[in-house]
Structure 1
């Protein structure tokens, strides 16, 4: 399987401090066709990342979606412009950020153009080999 990736640089704004933008990257790889990754960046260094279902991001464009670590929903007052992404770290409090809806919608369009819904394929043999490679001393 190809390792084609789609990567978007995004600017996010903390809901509790919207005047302080945060830099992040939204990434999609056909190697893991069901998932997207949101990584916060400090310069060129990744500080924290969340991996979640691409369906959550797609559905969250229109209505609240997701459960657990990541939820996505249209902004209550400015839904045509912004999404509210809620991140729940394993330890700590939920953290909410705003994202530009248009940019996320374009990202979602690109990932579904690359791997249409229903065409997701995972190389099971490669996954099993990777698991055994991690546990073999």
Structure 2
């Protein structure tokens, strides 16, 4: 399941960024945020679905990804900390994220997440090789 997004840099709100938020039942605990330039992914962040859900109402997260309410209720603040770089804050429409989170819970309800550990290990080993 994919959700296209427009994000705005806090320091450059006049410069929108295109991104896609993804979720797969094969990895039910995680979401993936990919920034796009044309059709090419330029940066990808993976983080917990629960982090995104918690950030709808309260500040959540530590480290590479943080999500929380904006002073304007229509937006969330998404703060990313790239490796070897400074953190940057982005604004995203709260309703788009809330709809996405709701869809993920319809696909795999909270508490019903199951992971095929053998397939997961095989995928990791294949990517490393």
Q: Shorter chain as normaliser: what TM range?
A: over 0.9
1:45 aligned partner = 40
Give 1:18's aligned residue: 13
Aligned to 1:3: none
Q: Deviation string for 1:68-123 (max 9, x for gaps)?
A: 10000000x20x20000000011100011000000000000000110000111110
Q: Which residue of 2 aligns with 1:110?
A: 103
Unmatched segments (≥5 aa) in structure 2: none
The 4+ residue runs of structure 1 with deviation greater than 2 A are 128-136
1:86 matched to 2:79: yes
- State the alpha-carbon separation in 2 of the partners of residues 10 and 91 from structure 1: 25
2:12 aligned counterpart, secondary structure: coil
Structure 1 unaligned spans of 5+: 1-5
Q: TM-score, normalised by structure 2?
A: 0.96
Question: What is the deviation of 1:127?
Answer: 1.6
Count of aligned positions: 129
Find the counterpart in structure 2 of residue 29 from structure 1.
24
- Describe the shift of the 1:131–1:10 C-alpha distance in structure 2 as closer, same or farther (beyond 3 A): closer
- From 116, 119, 124, the counterpart of 1:126: 119
CA distance in 1, matches of 2:18, 2:86: 20
Residue 37 and residue 131 in structure 1: after superposition, are their counterparts in 2 closer, same or farther (change >3 A)?
closer
